[in-house]
Each structure stands twice: as C-alpha cells, then as structure tokens.
Amino acid sequence: MSSRLRGIGGTENGAVRTPRINPEDLGDIRVALPPLEEQRRIADFLDAEFARIDGLVNAEQRVLDRLTERRTAGVVAAVSGGEHTGRRASTLAWLESIPESWQEVRVGLMARMGSGHTPSRSHPEWWVDCTIPWITTGEVKQVRDDRLEDLHETREKISEVGLANSAAELHPKGTVFLCRTASAGYSGVMGSDMATSQDFVTWTCGPRLNPYFLLWCLRAMRADLLGRLAMGSTHKTIYVPDLQMLRIPVPPLNEQGKIVDAIRRQNSRIDNLTDKVRRQIELLTERRQALITAAVTGQFDVSTASGRNVTDGVSA
C-alpha cells in the first residue's frame, strides 16, 4: 500500500482520523479491462439482475411497513379493550371507543408525576463518585423501536451530592418515564432506582395502575402526543401542563396485566417476523454487491448466466 494512503484506522490526539486517499494514488489503480462488447454485456447483465434484486428488496420493505402498521394497530386495540363488545364512544382524542365498563382517568390521579434536573456542571465536586443511573435523551435510542420496556443501563450517572444539590429526584424502580423534548414521545420503565434530566417527566404508579399498562398507553398515543400537544417546528417539545392533564382508559387492575401480556405475545411474534424480513433484505443487499464483484472480475460468463441463481439463499 502506498505511503500516500493516510488516516486509515489511525488516531491523532485521541481522535479517529477520517480515512483519506491521496488523489495521486488513484492514478496507480489497475483494473481488468475486457473487450468493449464484453463490457456492454456485463453492464446489461448487471442492470437486469439489479432490477430483479431491487424488486425483491422493495417487496420485502412493503412487508416491513405492513408489520409495523400491524404492531401499532395491535397495541392500540389492546389498550382500548378491543376484545370487548359492549362499547361506548371515547372522549380521548386518540381512541374511537372503549368498553362501557372502563373509565377514562387523568394519569395524575393514579400516579405521582415527577420530573428531573441536571446538577450544575459549574460544581465539578458534584460530579465525583457518580453512582446513580441518570436518564438523558441519549437513552432514547434504547426505547425508540418500542421493543425494550425496562431500561437498566444509562450512559451517565450523577452523584449523591449532585442529587442533593439539584432539583433532580431519585425515582423508584418501576417508574414510567417519557421524553418530552428533542426525542419527544418515547417512553420506558426504570429497571432500577434512577434519576432523569429535565427532558423527562415520570409517573410512579399507585395501586390502581400497572406501570406497563401505562407504558403501552403512552406508546399507543405517541402520534397524538406529537401531533396535538408537541410544540415547535424543528425540535418538538411537550409541555408539562399538557402532560399533567393526560388521560388514559383504565380497566380493572387484573385486566391491565392481561392486556400487557397479550401485547407482549403479539409483539414477540411480529418482531420475530420483522427480524427475518430485515435479514432477507441484508442478504439481498450483500448479494447485489457480490454480483458486481463476480461479474467485473470475470468469475462467471455473463453471456451464459441465466440469472436464476443470483438470489440463492434468499427467499422472496
């Protein structure tokens, strides 16, 4: 390799350097050059096979979209008591109807609402011996796909001193949290005692409310939260007064647990199918690249290739 190829895998002052290729090195690259007619055949062959593979990828992507829609619709149906026949019109903006025997209750009447804070960075002594898990917007990526319910790990922690000298609160395990700023609308359940930044609101549920039922209600109403309550054109923010008035459908406590279990079973089935479809797309993408390499390096004769085997190992 030429010494003029710089920055690959190297670091400078602790920072990873972006790989760079000196333009002069590009003039030294040699490639196999078949006759012009053969070049045309290769290009035509690849165009045809790319169209075939791209069609399969597009079909798989449509399946992914339908699975996502089915998952979302299933959650909404579950938390709105879709299996009940005797129903009445809902006063909630995100639901059409609920069972006649259910109530629609403000969350604050069944759970203690809390918030978070950031200890001042101007006091470095408050950021020593940090042991308390501290949820920030960096954790949203863990719950963004709605697969994870319980959050156990946080990127940052705060100290006992920082907690004592700020408005941050230590919330008990099982507390539900909702991001209300940059990544607004995403939610989870604390897997241990944790604190949060000011970007979150929390609900510590009382005896009438299953925290996981509340979690799936929050996830079911995300589109409504963002569409009706979130403010701002670039960075959406849901303001605390709106969240204080948040209402959800409330079945009996034992039914809440059954609904949560049903959601988990449904999502597990759909997530397994989703993972398989995504793997198919990965394989098709890999095959597309492998086909380019094989064709331009003469590993097979494109004039005799039928194309029937270019997607071996990948089901449509």
What share of the chain in percent tops pLDDT 90?
Answer: 69
3-state helix, strand, coil in the chain (%, to 5): 40, 20, 40
What is the pairing mode between strands 103-106 and 247-250? antiparallel
* Residues 169-223: tens digit of each pLDDT: 999 999 999 999 988 999 999 999 999 999 999 999 999 999 999 999 999 999 9
Q: What is the pTM of this model?
A: 0.82
Q: How far is CA 315 from the centre of its chain?
A: 26
* Residues 40-76: tens digit of each pLDDT: 888 888 888 889 999 999 999 999 999 999 999 999 9
- The predicted model gives 142-150 an average pLDDT of 96
Other CB atoms within a 10 A radius of the CB of residue 160 amount to 13
What share of the chain in percent tops pLDDT 70?
Answer: 87
Tokens in use for 196?
């949060």
* Residues 216-252: tens digit of each pLDDT: 999 999 999 988 888 876 778 999 999 999 999 999 9
